[in-house]
Amino acid sequence: MNIVVSDTTALIILAKSDSLILLSNLFKEIYIPQAVYDELMIKDDIVKYRIEEFNQISIKNISNQKILQSIQKLNIDKGEVEAISLAIELNLKLIIDERKGRKIALAQGLKIVGVLGILIENYRQDFLSLSETHFSFKLFKANGLRVSVELEKVFFDRLRA
């Protein structure tokens, strides 16, 4: 088990779905920057409550202002800027789902994972059965996960692999 940095969207989807346990199955600690925490705290009460109760999340400050300033020049929201910057600074994998943010993170040399990757890894490590994985996928979509038809096909192909 290891440490990871997370952006906001994955945490919202997992919190709304009451599935934050999927993170603790794979990671001992999840670091988030202040902007991500702030974005989480303006969400509905269920998200706020579940995030605050999930004791594996720690807020970490970004100390390398050069990295932060270079990422700020790109056209993404503040949470993504800070999450990418923190992952670069700490040399950690990043949980991120937004397409533009993923492209930027990959261009910065980061290893990334999204909600679907977390779901696949939980299945592969036997934390979820195949039917539970299918159920979680549908639940995540109902709670805001946007998935193209192509990505959905790739997801189910990977489950069968």
What pLDDT is attached to residue 73? 84
What strand order describes the sheet that includes 57-59? 57-59, 27-32, 2-6, 93-95, 112-113
What pLDDT is attached to residue 1? 54
Please report which confidence band the pLDDT of residue 22 belongs to, taking 50, 70 and 90 as the band edges. very high
Checking if the pLDDT of 151 tops 80, the result is yes
In this structure, is the dihedral angle defined by the CA atoms of residues 86, 23, 117 and 16, taken in order, positive or negative? negative
Cβ 33 vs Cβ 88: under 8 Å? no
pTM, two decimals, is 0.93
Q: Which one of 3.40.50.1010, 3.90.420.10, 3.30.70.1140, 1.10.1670.40 gives the CATH number of domain 2-115? A: 3.40.50.1010
Kindly report the backbone phi and psi dihedral angles of residue 82, in degrees, each rounded to the nearest multiple of 5, phi listed first: -70, -40
What pLDDT is attached to residue 40? 94
CA distance 82 to 19: 24
Q: What is the pLDDT of residues 61-113, one digit of tens each?
A: 999 889 888 888 888 899 999 999 999 999 999 999 999 999 999 999 999 99
Query: Tokens 């020049």 correspond to what residue?
Result: 73
Domain spans of the chain, in order of start: 2-115, 116-160
